[in-house]
Structure 1
Amino acid sequence: MLFRDWDSLQNILVVGVMAYVVLIVFLRVSGKRTLSKMNAFDLIVTVALGSTLATVLLAKEVALAEGVLAFALLIGLQFAVTWSSVRVRWVRRLATGEPKMLLYDGQLLPAALMTSRVTEDEIRAAIRSAGVDSLSSVCAVVLETDGSFSVVKSSENGNGSSLVDVDGPQRFPGPIDR
């Protein structure tokens, strides 16, 4: 069917604009964390918000008020989890995972690469993107919780303190709140 009636199109336009405005307002009120770089938890919330918006737009049996409540619930739950993850380490690990070291002191860590499903080529590409031409010039490559790679260059003055929360071999373990 190509066309049902004008009322259904008008309903989609009105509800769509209103749901969009409500979603934008809720996202702005919830803070920058809701719109930050995504880890798996953030991706799930984003997909759920998109699915909810689509349902509110296209399902006549779902009222706008129900959709607004669903938006508020999802954003509220995300706020509660992120608020808790800042304060409680086990919640943070549950919601976002932990960064994983894939290269240390210029040496690839094959077991870490395999469990993280990352290839040596991807590590070399990340190192090149950081403007480094040699593995031996790299202290560490870390797979972050959002799926990005961080390349930590070797330094004579460094103490490795940026690596204390990373799962992997560490030369400079520091105080860790676990």
Structure 2
Amino acid sequence: MENIFFTSWESLIRTFIICILAYFSLVLMLRISGKRTLSQMKEFDFIVTVALGSTLATVLLSKDVALADGTFALALLISLQYLLATASVRSKKFSRLISSEPTLVLYQGEFLQEALKKERVTENEIRSVLRSQGVSSIAKVKAVVMESNGKFTVVQEGSLSNPDSPLSNVRKVDE
């Protein structure tokens, strides 16, 4: 209980030095690896983002983890994410294996019940998404798609220049 507010000046100095070095190491690695590392486009992108934050926090606050070990762990996570992203871009089969396809949950004003059940989403949640997008009537909506990252895309009537484009790779659950 005695170390609840302050351990020692040595501990603070260590945290300060490790924080600066780990932070700049992470920024450098992220710049080298590219924008995709933190994009959260797919499930594994989100996992890597959370894991990077957790690893950085552990490096900063745990005296049991050396800076070299933490930096190596960060580099390994970024490398694995880079390899997965590269493999998913080069192989559609691999991409389908590691991430889900977008799902149509509302089409031409009709809720697709099987899709809602499969994705564990309620009609009220879709209505909330529509309200947040400023949609006043479901009749004005061509489609609502649950993207592979869990976000919703609302396609309104008349907003498509090419009728296939936004919905071309969307999976209908009832098919």
Q: What TM-score bracket applies, with the shorter chain setting the length?
A: 0.7 to 0.9
- Equivalent residues of 1:104, 1:139 under 8 A apart: yes
Unaligned ranges ≥5, structure 2: none
Shift of 1:169: 6.7
Does structure 1 residue 122 correspond to structure 2 residue 125? yes
Residue by residue over 1:12-64, the C-alpha shift from the partner in whole angstroms, topping out at 9 and shown as x without a partner, is 11011100110111112211111224543122111211221122122223221
Who is 2:164 aligned against?
Answer: 160
Measured on the aligned residues, the alpha-carbon RMSD in Å equals 2.1
Does structure 1 residue 11 correspond to structure 2 residue 11? no
Tell me, in whole angstroms, the C-alpha distance in 2 between the residues paired with 1:60 and 1:131.
50
Matches within 5 A, 1:134-149: 134-149=137-152
Tell me, in whole angstroms, the C-alpha distance in 1 between the residues paired with 2:132 and 2:96.
28
One-letter identity of the residue aligned with 1:160 = D
Deviates more, 1:6-15 or 1:124-133: 124-133
Query: What TM-score do you get using the length of structure 1 for normalisation?
Result: 0.85
Q: Residues 134 and 64 from structure 1, CA distance in 2 versus in 1: closer, same or farther, beyond 3 angstroms?
A: same
Shift of 1:77: 0.5
Q: Residues 47 and 61 from structure 1, CA distance in 2 versus in 1: closer, same or farther, beyond 3 angstroms?
A: same
Query: What TM-score do you get using the length of structure 2 for normalisation?
Result: 0.86
Unaligned ranges ≥5, structure 1: 171-178
Does structure 1 residue 34 correspond to structure 2 residue 37? yes
One-letter identity of the residue aligned with 2:32 = V
Instruction: Give the counterpart of 1:71 among 64, 68, 74.
Output: 74
Which runs of at least 4 in structure 1 moved beyond 6 Å after TM superposition? none
How many residue pairs get aligned? The number is 170
Matches within 5 A, 1:80-91: 80-91=83-94
Tell me, in whole angstroms, the C-alpha distance in 1 between the residues paired with 2:161 and 2:58.
55
- Equivalent residues of 1:39, 1:147 under 8 A apart: no
Shift of 1:70: 0.8
Shift of 1:142: 0.3
Residue by residue over 1:87-135, the C-alpha shift from the partner in whole angstroms, topping out at 9 and shown as x without a partner, is 1113222333111110112211111111111111222232333343322
Tell me, in whole angstroms, the C-alpha distance in 2 between the residues paired with 1:70 and 1:116.
33
